[in-house]
Amino acid sequence: MMNSILQRLIRQAKGSEPADLVLKNCQVINVFTRELIRADVAICNEWIAGVGEYSGVREIDCCRYFVSPGFIEGHIHIESSMLSPEHFVYAVLPFGTTTVVCDPHEIANVAGIAGINYILNETEDMPVTVFVMVPSCVPATHLETSGAVLDQKSIIELFKHPRVIGLAEMMNFPGVLAGDEMIIDKILHARNRNLPVDGHAPGVSGKALQAYVSVGIGSDHECTTKEEALEKLRSGMHLFIREGTVAKNLVELLPVVTEKNVHRCLFVTDDCHPYELRKGHLDRVLRKAIGLGMDPLMAIQMVTINVARYFQLSGRGAIGPGYRADMVLFEDLQEPKPCHVFSGGRLTVEDFNIIEKKPRKANREYREVFQSVQIQWEKVRFTVPAGKEKMRVIGVIKDQILTEALEIEATVKDGQAVADPERDLAKIAVIERHHGTGRMGVGFVRGFGLKHGALAGSIAHDSHNIIVVGMSDNDMELAAKTVALAGGGLAVVAENRVLSLLQLDVAGLMSTCSLRELNDKLDELLAATQLLGGYGENAFMLMSFLALPVIPHLKITDYGLIDVDTFRPVGLWL
C-alpha cells in the first residue's frame, strides 16, 4: 500500500473521517476466534479499515446477512473446468470465490512456460485474484510424452512473477524417495525463497512418507482414508480435503478434522468439471460439510484463513483491519448461498448476479497454446494381435481416479484381441499429439460401461495426448481424427459417424465459450454419450485420468500400460 492510502486507512480506522463504505450491523464471521460478532465493517479503498461501530460516505444495511471472508481455493487446475481463465473467473465469482491458487500443470504439459504466462496474462486485473504454483513435474514422469519441459531455469524465471507463490504438487514421489537430483533442486529453489511446496503422495506411508515430508513438502490432497489422512497430519503435512468432480473424499475424511487440527485442514476441489460449476464451487463444498454435521464456522475457516496462512497470502482470508476487503454475504449460516460478493471493496456480485464483466479478446499470440496437435497418422494402429491367454486390464473404480490392475482372459476374434461389450471390456489407446512421433499405447479397460461406439479427447492427464476408449477400432480411429482436426476437443462416434464434438481450442484443454455456452455444448455431448452407455456426464473426465501414471495402480500412456506401483511400463500379455 502507498503511504497516502495507509494514512487514509488509519484515519478511517480511528473514525476521524468517514469510511469510504460501511456494511452496517452485519453478523461478522470472525475466523481468528471462530465466533459471530454483530458489528459494522468499514472499508477504505480496497482494504478493511475496521470492525466495530462506524459511519461512512456510503452505508449499506446488512442486518440480514452473515459476512464471511471471500472464499479461497487452495488447489485447482483451472484447465479442468474447460473454461478459459477469463470465463473461469466469472464462473466461480458468483459462488463467493475471490482468490484462487491454481496449478497450471495441464497447460504447462502442453505448452510449457508459454502456457503458464498465458494463464497469468489472462487473469491480470480480474475480480478474482489468481495465484499460480509452478508445476513441479513437467513432464509428470518419464513414462509419457509431454509437449514441453519445465526445467530449473524456467522455474527460477517464473518465481520472479508476483503472483507465482510456490511449487505445485510434487507428483513424482518415487523420484523424491530416490533423491533424484533434478527434483530436489526444484524443491530447494522454492525452499530457498521461503515458498510452500505442495505434495501428491497417494498411499505413501511409514518411513517412505517420513522421507517424502523431510524435504519440505507441506501438503497432500490425495488422501482417501481416515488412516492415511491422520498419518499425514501427524507427519506435519497440511491436509487438503478434496471434493472434486471425479475424486470425492469429503465424506470419508471429514471425521478426521477436529478442534485440535482444523487449523491444518483445507477444502479444495482440484478438478472441477463445468457441470459441477453450475451447482457451485467452494460454497457447494461448504454446504456439504455443514450438512454432514460440521460446525459452519470451522468449515469456513477451511476455505479462508487456513488457506491464506498456508500459502502466506498476507492480508487475505479474514475480516479484520488491514485485510483486503474480499467478502461474501449470505442469509443462512447452515446453508451458505452467496448472494452478494465484494472483491477488493467493490461490489461485484449483487443478488446472485455479476454486476459488470471486463470482456477480453482471446490472446492468440501464444502459438504453443493455440496450435497444439500434431499426429503422424500413418503410424497409428488400433489392432491388437492375440497373445497369451490372460492380459493386464485397467479396472475402473467408481468415483475414484485410482484404478485396479486386473488379470483377465482376452476375447479373441480372427486372431485379434477385441473389445467385448458383454464383458464390459473396452479397448483403450493413447496417441502422442505434441511432436508427431506416431507413438501410441493400446490396451483394455473394464468398468467403463460402453455398449458400442467410441469416445476420444485431447484431455488425458497429465501430458494430454489423445486418448480413446471404444468398442470398435474404426470408431476409435474416427473419434481420434475428429479431435485432432478440431485442434483439440471431445468427440463421440458410433457406427462410423460423428455424433457430437466439443472443440477445445485452448491447448486442447479449454474453450473460449462462457460457462453457459460450454454447458449447452456439453449437454449435446452428454446426450450423444448416453447413447453409447457408460458413465454419462463423467465419462470424459474419468477417461482423462486413465492416462495418469502417478495414480495407482494400472494406467496407460503413449508408452503403453504403466504399472504405477513399480513405476515402469509393462506388457499387455501375462
pLDDT confidence of 364, banded at 50, 70, 90? Answer: low
**99, 110, 109: which is closest to 76 by C-alpha?**
99
Share of the chain above pLDDT 70, in %: 99
* Plot region of 438 (φ>0 → left; ψ -120 to 50 → alpha; else → beta): left
Q: What whole-number distance in Å separates Cα of residue 38 and Cα of residue 52?
A: 8
The pLDDT assigned to 294 comes to 98
Q: Which residues pair with 102 in a beta bridge?
A: 76, 132
Residues 407-418: tens digit of each pLDDT: 999 999 999 999
Q: What whole-number distance in Å separates Cα of residue 170 and Cα of residue 183?
A: 9
Single pTM value for the model:
0.91
> Residue 513: what are its φ and ψ, rounded to 5°?
-80, 160
pLDDT confidence of 538, banded at 50, 70, 90? Answer: confident
Q: What's the mean pLDDT in 112-139?
A: 95
Contact 27, 38 (CB under 8 A): yes
Mean pLDDT of the chain: 95
Handedness of CA 505, 506, 509, 515 (dihedral sign): negative
Handedness of CA 172, 174, 146, 560 (dihedral sign): negative
Residues 272-314: tens digit of each pLDDT: 988 889 999 999 999 999 999 999 999 999 999 999 999 999 9
Element containing residue 26 per DSSP (H, E): strand 19-30
Q: Which residues pair with 166 in a beta bridge?
A: 133
**Cell reading at 526:** 452428454
**336, 234, 221: which is closest to 267 by C-alpha?**
221
The pLDDT assigned to 363 comes to 65
**Cell reading at 494:** 458410433
pLDDT confidence of 429, banded at 50, 70, 90? Answer: very high
Q: Is CATH 3.20.20.140 correct for 70-315? A: yes
Residues 28-45: tens digit of each pLDDT: 999 999 999 999 999 999
Question: Rounded to 5, what percent of the chain is helix, strand, coil?
Answer: 30, 30, 40
Residues 476-494: tens digit of each pLDDT: 999 999 999 999 999 999 9
Residue 167 has pLDDT above 90, yes or no: yes
Q: What's the mean pLDDT in 189-196?
A: 97
Parallel, antiparallel or unpaired: strands 454-457 and 489-494 = antiparallel
Contact 39, 26 (CB under 8 A): yes
**Position 222, amino acid:** E
pLDDT confidence of 522, banded at 50, 70, 90? Answer: very high
Supply the CATH classification number for the domain 3-64.
2.30.40.10
Residue 250 has pLDDT above 70, yes or no: yes
Give the start-to-end residue ranges of the domains of the chain: 3-64, 70-315, 372-570
> Residue 61: what are its φ and ψ, rounded to 5°?
-75, 115
Share of the chain above pLDDT 90, in %: 88
pLDDT confidence of 398, banded at 50, 70, 90? Answer: confident
E-assigned strand segments in 440-573: 440-446, 454-457, 466-470, 489-494, 497-503, 554-557, 560-563, 568-570
The pLDDT assigned to 174 comes to 85
Residue 147 has pLDDT above 70, yes or no: yes
Q: Which residue has the cell 523424491?
A: 176
Residue 569 has pLDDT above 90, yes or no: yes
pLDDT confidence of 171, banded at 50, 70, 90? Answer: confident
The pLDDT assigned to 551 comes to 87
Residue 362 has pLDDT above 80, yes or no: no
